């Protein structure tokens, strides 16, 4: 009888272990079995009092992928302010005589990543242009004896991160940008089906880029071979090639690539808006090249040095940074993240080069009391494979963010599993009451899957949030299998 009581007590204890004990035991099990047995990975989870709930190799430096956006958006809010807005201004050189501007009209970029996008948080292109035309009317400009010039010189730097891979910089999620962009510097193509071995029929739909020469070097491929379509392009010349294959069994859908000429595209579309509305613009549209020369879109030739438009006739503003951060983290928007990163660097040093941006972020981390080791920052989005962070550093950073003035907007910028964005398919079979308590950022690339964030206390609990970071690298197992394995850690912690 005594032995039976002992067995029953042992079974009861095993089924009522604290969540942290069950999470740690599961982490220990994962370390010895597939899919993470041969991967490089680490975990750290702490409660609000600093007690460790789960840990495995938490001091190991690993690729964070888009978990880097947690650092960028948080430090960006601290450095710039949660209510910070990017500006875009209209200015001109020359003089206005009898309603005619004898000079050039400049669209002066201030880094607004939402400019002329279809993002729900942004003013539409039609709305922006309507405001800009009102600026012209108020200034008394009815005709322009000159050019519309897209001016992105505020961030006079290379568009992309130097360590981004070649297949990333041609995609819509890796376009880079100057201080003046358009449509998030993306370009859309519609596709049609064809027979195996034939060229994939495609047409550029939006935006128009008439100066570009893009060759179609694609092929339809046998079933099961997937989609490897990529645009190979550069800011150095108006030429590109779309290469790769599309399997005949893949669903035909639009493709989105990178547009390396955001400032020129913006000038082109505003020029179209004005001229189609009946305004005379004698010089067409142009942008400014890396040598500071005006480059006309009609012939893509650089001419005289650009002027300084010291006469500003109006300014439009982006949504607030906290709303941009929400969009950044919810859909893992690289373009938005890099814009925040550049803005931080420019404010801190007067330069938006990547090393200046690192200096700016490092300064904020030092103010938070973060150590110098435990992280290597190369960009703001996490596209670079030279970014490294430890789970220990990430958890410490996330805990310190709770003590800052931007804690609430930062927390609100993080999506929950099963909601919109990159977490839509995560833990979708778990109760909504549990899912909504998990606020986190995902990060993924080939062989990499990461989740970092917070688990909020259950309703009525007086406990603070659990802070966690789970980083997996060099994993060859199927993505869905890895995701199921590591999200179980979150469920055990949340229970």
Residue 180 CB partners (closer than 8 Å, separation 6+): 88, 107, 108, 109, 115, 150, 151, 152, 262, 263, 266
- According to DSSP, the residues that pair with 216 across neighbouring strands are 242
Strands 202-206 and 40-46: unpaired
pLDDT at 18: 56
For residue 53, give the H/E element and its range: strand 52-56
For residue 312, give the H/E element and its range: strand 311-317
- According to DSSP, the residues that pair with 231 across neighbouring strands are 242
Where do the H-state alpha helices sit in 40-111?
68-80
Query: On the CB side of 120, how many CA atoms lie within 13 Å of its CA?
Result: 5
Strands 105-109 and 87-92: antiparallel
C-alpha angle 421/424/429, rounded to 5°? 165
**Sign, CA torsion 371/376/378/384:** negative
Report how far residue 265's alpha carbon sits from residue 150's, in angstroms, rounded to the nearest whole number. Answer: 8
Nearest Cα neighbor of 389 from 406, 404, 370 is 370
For residue 327, give the H/E element and its range: helix 321-331
For residue 24, give the H/E element and its range: helix 19-30
Written as tens digits, the pLDDT of the chain (495 aa) is 444 333 333 333 334 445 558 999 999 999 999 999 999 999 999 999 999 999 999 999 999 999 999 999 999 999 999 999 999 999 999 999 999 999 999 999 999 999 999 999 999 999 999 999 999 999 999 999 999 999 999 998 888 888 898 888 889 999 988 999 999 999 999 999 999 999 999 999 999 999 999 999 999 999 999 999 999 998 889 999 999 999 999 999 999 999 999 999 999 999 999 999 999 999 999 999 999 999 999 899 998 999 999 899 999 999 999 999 999 999 999 999 999 999 999 999 999 999 999 999 999 999 999 998 999 999 999 999 999 999 999 999 999 999 999 999 999 999 999 998 999 999 999 999 999 999 999 999 999 999 999 999 998 888 899 999 999 999 999 999 999 999 999 999 998
Token look-up 């909020």 returns 456
Residue 428 CB partners (closer than 8 Å, separation 6+): 417, 418
- According to DSSP, the residues that pair with 245 across neighbouring strands are 219
- According to DSSP, the residues that pair with 55 across neighbouring strands are 44
Distances (CA, A) of 445 to 103, 227, 248: 48, 16, 25
pLDDT at 20: 54
pLDDT at 19: 57
pLDDT at 12: 38
Nearest Cα neighbor of 345 from 320, 315, 380 is 380
Nearest Cα neighbor of 438 from 462, 459, 463, 465 is 465
Report how far residue 341's alpha carbon sits from residue 69's, in angstroms, rounded to the nearest whole number. Answer: 10
Predicted TM-score (pTM) above 0.85:
yes
Report how far residue 294's alpha carbon sits from residue 126's, in angstroms, rounded to the nearest whole number. Answer: 26
C-alpha angle 314/318/321, rounded to 5°? 140
Report how far residue 10's alpha carbon sits from residue 3's, in angstroms, rounded to the nearest whole number. Answer: 11
pLDDT at 1: 41
For 411, phi and psi rounded to 5 degrees? -60, -40
Burial of 450 (0-12, 13-18, 19+ CB in 10 A): buried
Long-range contacts of residues 350-354, Cβ cutoff 8 Å, at least 24 apart: 351/157, 352/154, 352/155, 352/156, 352/157, 352/179, 353/157, 354/157, 354/161, 354/162, 354/378, 354/379
Report how far residue 82's alpha carbon sits from residue 74's, in angstroms, rounded to the nearest whole number. Answer: 9
**Tokens in use for 266?**
């913006």
DSSP three-state, residue 60: coil
Report how far residue 339's alpha carbon sits from residue 353's, in angstroms, rounded to the nearest whole number. Answer: 12
DSSP three-state, residue 466: strand
Token look-up 């997996």 returns 472
DSSP three-state, residue 48: coil
For residue 324, give the H/E element and its range: helix 321-331
**What is the radius of gyration, based on Cα positions, of the chain?**
26
Domains in the chain: ranges and CATH: 18-82+321-494 (3.40.710.10), 87-156+262-317 (3.50.80.20), 184-258 (no CATH)
């Amino acid at each position: 009888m005594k032995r039976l009581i002992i067995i029953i007590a042992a079974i009861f204890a095993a089924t009522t272990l604290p969540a942290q004990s069950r999470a740690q035991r599961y982490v220990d099990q994962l370390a010895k079995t597939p899919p993470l047995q041969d991967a490089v990975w680490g975990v750290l989870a702490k409660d609000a009092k600093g007690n460790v709930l789960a840990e495995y190799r938490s001091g190991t430096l690993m690729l964070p992928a888009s978990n880097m956006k947690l650092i960028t958006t948080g430090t960006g809010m601290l450095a710039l302010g949660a209510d910070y807005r990017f500006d875009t201004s209209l200015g001109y050189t020359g003089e206005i005589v009898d309603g005619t501007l004898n000079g050039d009209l400049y669209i002066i970029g201030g880094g607004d990543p939402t400019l002329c996008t279809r993002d729900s948080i942004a003013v539409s292109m039609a709305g922006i242009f309507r405001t800009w035309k009102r600026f012209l009317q108020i200034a008394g400009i009815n005709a322009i004896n000159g050019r519309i010039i897209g001016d992105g010189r505020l961030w006079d730097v290379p568009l992309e991160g130097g360590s981004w891979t070649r297949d990333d910089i041609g995609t819509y999620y890796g376009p880079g940008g100057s201080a003046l962009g358009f449509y998030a510097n993306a370009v859309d193509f519609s596709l049609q089906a064809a027979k195996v071995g034939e060229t994939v029929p495609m047409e550029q739909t939006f935006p128009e880029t008439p100066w570009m020469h893009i060759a179609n070097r694609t092929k339809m491929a046998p079933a099961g071979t997937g989609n490897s379509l990529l645009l190979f392009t550069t800011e150095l010349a108006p030429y590109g090639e779309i290469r790769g294959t599309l399997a005949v069994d893949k669903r035909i859908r639009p493709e989105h690539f990178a547009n390396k000429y955001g400032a020129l595209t913006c000038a082109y579309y505003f020029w179209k808006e004005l001229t189609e509305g009946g305004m005379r613009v004698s010089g067409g549209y142009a942008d400014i090249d890396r040598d500071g020369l005006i480059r006309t879109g009609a012939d893509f030739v650089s001419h005289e040095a650009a002027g300084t438009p010291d006469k500003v006739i109006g300014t439009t503003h982006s949504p607030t940074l906290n709303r941009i951060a929400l969009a950044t983290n919810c859909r893992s928007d690289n373009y938005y993240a890099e814009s925040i990163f550049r803005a931080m660097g420019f404010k801190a040093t007067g330069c938006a080069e990547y090393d200046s941006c690192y200096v700016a972020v490092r300064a904020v981390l030092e103010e938070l009391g973060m150590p110098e080791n435990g992280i290597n920052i190369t960009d703001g989005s996490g596209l670079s494979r030279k970014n490294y962070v430890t789970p220990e550093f990430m958890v410490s950073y996330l805990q310190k963010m709770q003590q800052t003035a931007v804690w609430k907007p930062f927390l609100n910028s993080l999506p929950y599993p099963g909601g919109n964005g990159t977490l839509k398919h995560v833990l979708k079979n778990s109760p909504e009451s549990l899912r909504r308590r998990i606020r986190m950022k995902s990060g993924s690339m080939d062989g990499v899957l990461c989740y970092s964030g917070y688990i909020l206390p259950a309703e009525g609990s007086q406990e603070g949030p659990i802070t966690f970071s789970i980083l997996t690298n060099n994993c060859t197992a199927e993505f869905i299998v890895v995701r199921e394995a590591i999200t179980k850690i979150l469920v055990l912690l949340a229970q």
